[in-house]
Amino acid sequence: MEWYNLTIDGCEVRVPKGTTVLEACRMNDIQIPTLCQDKELTPSGACRLCVVEIEGMRNLPPSCVTQVAQGMVVQTQNTKVRAARKVILELLVANHPLDCMTCQKMGNCSLAEYAYEYGATGEIYKGEKRDLPIDSGNPFILRDPNKCISCGKCIKACTEIQGRSILDFSFRGFDTQVGPAFNLPYNESDCVFCGSCVSVCPVGALTEKKMVGMGRSWEVSKVQTTCPFCGTGCNFDLNVKDGKVIGVTSNPDSPVNGKALCVKGRFGMDMIYSPTRLTTPLIRKDGVLVPAEWDEAIALVAAKFGQIKKESGPNAIAALSSAHCTNEENYLMQKFMRAVIGTNNVDHCART
């Protein structure tokens, strides 16, 4: 591998050829603000907030799409660079709704974080404000186009992570919007509600509808777990407040899926508190299913298995396993059938 030596903020660093300036900075714990960049998406340089000064270049290039070169000298925090970033933030905040106190994204909004850091108030550039209808016609995603900053991350997530290409830019200039074709509401488009767009949105333009009003980011503790809906093994974070799961958010460090989830994994955890969820075994008495203790239910199943095996032989019993179970549980199931019951009548719901 070929390596390049460069200087960033007066520090000598060494990075592989092909590394971007942004990546080089992050490899060396040098912080640069970004709104459109994500490690799972191809860089686009859309927000321009990551601009830096490079010796020998006339303009301030975006660091996320600028590759390092041998001997490059980079400044990331000088007066010129910070002034340019503040202008960009002022332009973004100028027509962005400032309802931060009631915004679900408060405490986890990249735009608010950087506006605070750079002192951008939106007072310098004043003009027309967007007043577009909010898309709330589906049960999963709340889309507020007035808060969109046109970073394009949701478009790339839909195209590059999910391969759906449902979202894109429409109109131009101040009237630019991001959404499905013909600017249709989500529920009238071909969206499958995977929520990848929500997971990458840096502001409050896209939020999990069922989590709105349920808790602020600093009130929520996150517990990483494995999705129970299939055998893929996707990881995500359960958002817990006051001992209750209020929703699911992506964990970018998930080894199997990254930020990607399906509609069941991201939005199906409300089944935990479903009034129709079974919480105790049921056994049939006099033709009616009634609640029972676990010991009673297991003893009944064991007795029935023994009776069937004695009367009709072990091959009269079969077992169908589930991808919702772990590999260990599925292994024990087939071991039980073969070693205890004495049959090879074992199948699995995911076998196709």
Confidence at residue 49, expressed as pLDDT on a 0 to 100 scale: 96
Question: Between these two residues, 91 and 229, which has the higher pLDDT value?
Answer: 91
Rg (CA), the chain: 27
Distance CA 98, CA 103 (A): 9
pTM of the prediction? 0.86
Of 135, 114, 195, give the one whose Cα is nearest residue 161: 195
Closest C-alpha to 127, from 91, 100, 103: 91
Is residue 352 predicted with pLDDT exceeding 60?
A: no
Owner of token pair 């199997």: 256
Find the mean pLDDT for residues 134-141: 95
Q: In whole angstroms, what is the distance from residue 156 CA to residue 176 CA? A: 16
Distance CA 316, CA 300 (A): 18
* Domain boundaries 214-277, CATH class: mainly beta
Q: Specify which residues 249 forms β-bridges with.
A: 237
Where is pLDDT greater, at 324 or 167?
A: 167
As a whole number, mean pLDDT of residues 55-81 equals 96
- Architecture of the CATH domain 3-77: Roll (3.10)
* % of the chain surpassing 90 pLDDT: 88
Residue 351 has pLDDT above 80, yes or no: no
pLDDT, position 244: 95
Domain map (residue ranges) of the chain: 3-77, 214-277, 282-348
Q: Is the Cβ–Cβ distance between 178 and 155 less than 8 Å?
A: yes
Q: Are 96 and 144 in contact (CB under 8 A)?
A: no
Per-residue pLDDT tens over the stretch 29-65: 999 999 999 999 999 999 999 999 999 999 999 999 9
Q: Locate 294 and state its tokens.
A: 């676990």
Question: What average pLDDT is seen over the chain?
Answer: 94
Tell me the pLDDT tens digit for each residue of 147-172: 999 999 999 999 999 999 999 999 99
